[in-house]
């Protein structure tokens, strides 16, 4: 039977509420192992790790090498937050499976990390630019978060337009229902606007409404 080591990471209490909490990660990994006949040797949990100090991840990788096991994580962003991080892990000679994109190979994982990092950078730049423009207009910042909300909506709108060619290609192939589109986007490993998220009919519906 194939062997696996699970790695879970929780950075903030907010991630628990957003579906990135420990229980959600455990459920995803354990279900994957049960369905694909992996013996889960142990589960390594890490809380509030920083980019430089991720002792839990290094421990999990070492255990994988010792047992010739596969490292399994629930989502790509639990493995790392930027391309440099992911590249180092991919080069560690440990087989890796991301349960929400199980068909991704080493190359694909690297590409998905690059896309996610670029998306975060664009959102950050748009937010900073909007805050600076408001400050120059004399707007008092930090009172109610409305400005940040407007900025995030703009970033989500831009993201929707970036995906519009993909949606048109799917519709030409006869894939038109929100359920079918969400399934196909997940199969292709296309990330959602919220990093690490998985496509659902409701998120596809929201995306399509932004394009109207």
Asked whether the whole model's pTM tops 0.75, one would answer no
pLDDT at 7: 93
pLDDT at 163: 81
Question: How long is the chain?
Answer: 212
CB under 8 Å, gap of 24 or more: what pairs does 197-205 form?
A: 197/19, 198/100, 201/177, 202/178, 204/178, 205/178
Catalytic residue ranges: 11
What structural domains does the chain harbor? 2-102 (3.40.50.1390), 121-210 (no CATH)
> Where are the strands (E) in the chain, listed by range?
2-10, 38-47, 70-73, 96-98
Label residues 28-48 b or e (16+ Cβ within 10 Å = b): bbbebbeeeebebeebbebee
**Three-state DSSP class for 13?**
helix
Q: How many CB atoms lie within 10 A of CB 200?
A: 16
Walking along the chain (212 residues) 10 residues at a time, the average pLDDT comes out as 91 52 87 94 80 76 92 83 68 84 73 63 68 63 52 72 83 87 83 72 82 73
């Amino acid at each position: 039977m194939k062997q696996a080591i699970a790695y879970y990471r929780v950075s903030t209490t907010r991630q628990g509420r957003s579906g990135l909490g420990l229980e959600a990660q455990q459920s995803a990994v354990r279900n994957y192992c049960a369905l694909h006949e992996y013996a889960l040797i142990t589960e390594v949990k890490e809380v509030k790790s920083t980019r430089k100090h991720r002792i839990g991840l290094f421990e999990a990788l070492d255990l994988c090498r010792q047992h010739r096991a596969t490292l399994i994580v629930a989502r790509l962003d639990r493995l790392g937050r930027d391309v440099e991080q992911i590249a180092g892990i991919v080069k560690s000679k440990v087989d890796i499976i991301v349960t929400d994109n199980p068909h991704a190979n080493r190359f694909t994982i690297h590409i998905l990390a690059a896309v996610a990092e670029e998306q975060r950078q664009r959102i950050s730049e748009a937010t900073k630019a909007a805050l600076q423009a408001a400050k120059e207009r004399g707007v008092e910042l930090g009172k109610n978060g409305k400005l940040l909300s407007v900025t995030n909506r703009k970033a989500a709108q831009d993201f929707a337009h970036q995906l519009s060619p993909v949606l048109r290609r799917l519709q030409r192939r006869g894939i038109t229902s929100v359920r079918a589109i969400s399934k196909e986007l997940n199969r292709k490993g296309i990330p959602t606007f919220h990093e690490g998220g998985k496509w659902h009919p409701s998120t596809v519906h929201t995306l399509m409404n932004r394009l109207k």
